[in-house]
Structure 1
């Protein structure tokens, strides 16, 4: 079931300011509201807000198989412009996730992206396919980014 994951991105226009959108995305404790694969997120090591080097613990759930955990580190926290973090797992390689916020005439174009900097190893692919039943991870990740941006647009239209 091995796939050649390298990078991908999805963009969407949202009628909100870059700062408003950044504030939602960079509050990693709200990630479960945005992503169907993230079940829980907590700051680590005394961090309480986004800053370069801050770490958080994420509990992922694919709907089948056991949940898994990872501890990303924030690599860029530039309010209203860029929010990015790197996720590493011993069998899962290294992925850089990021959000860019580009203001335009009526709001902001938000781009969510990922880049694989160290590929998943063979055992990781085995687990993804057999334990979790995920057969097309590239499509799953793209669909997840699309859903995240849709949920973000709904959140700013109907704030908590």
Structure 2
């Protein structure tokens, strides 16, 4: 994995790290907060977010729809939640949420790394109508973090 993410954003949230973690580690809640990601189904008998658990994510961009499989790689309550996304045998991305204490709650950093090979980027971009993945992810992260803040502080 490259050190620097392709897209990232951060926000201070007036809620505990535990509260924020419970929201972002729930794939259903995350779907309510996110841009393209719209829903999920646990796989292999999983029922909760834990390292190694997998879920099928459903995504949408305009009229285009697709699904991916995510494997949770980090589930450190109140600190980090992360998962690797694939489409069949192809790596797609890594999404990571880091939570740090702040004066009035916590600071959340959402980051993503594009793990697609160059030929896979050329094929998938037009198929899902995204020609500037990094730009779209940056905008989606900003919106997701705003929604997370609103929900956690409510």
Q: TM-score, normalised by structure 1?
A: 0.86
How many pairs align?
Answer: 151
Residue 83 (structure 2) pairs with residue 85 (structure 1): yes
Matched residues in 2 for 1:57 and 1:84: separation? Answer: 15
- The alpha-carbon deviation at position 52 of structure 1 amounts to 0.5
> Which residue of the partner structure matches residue 142 of structure 1?
138
Q: TM-score, normalised by structure 2?
A: 0.89
> Which residue of the partner structure matches residue 119 of structure 2?
122
Aligned-residue Cα RMSD (Å) equals 1.9
- The alpha-carbon deviation at position 132 of structure 1 amounts to 2.8
- The alpha-carbon deviation at position 38 of structure 1 amounts to 1.2
> Which residue of the partner structure matches residue 33 of structure 1?
32
Matched residues in 1 for 2:10 and 2:61: separation? Answer: 23
Unaligned 5+ segments in structure 1 are none
- Matches for 1:100-115 after TM superposition, within 5 Å: 100-115=98-113
- Structure that is richer in strand per residue: 2
- The alpha-carbon deviation at position 124 of structure 1 amounts to 4.1
Unaligned 5+ segments in structure 2 are none
Equivalent residue of 1:113, what SS?
A: strand
> CA 1:55/1:147 → structure 2, altered by over 3 Å: closer, same or farther?
same
Contact map agreement 2:36 2:61 (CA 8 A) in 1 = yes
Equivalent residue of 2:82, what SS?
A: strand
> Which residue of the partner structure matches residue 57 of structure 2?
58
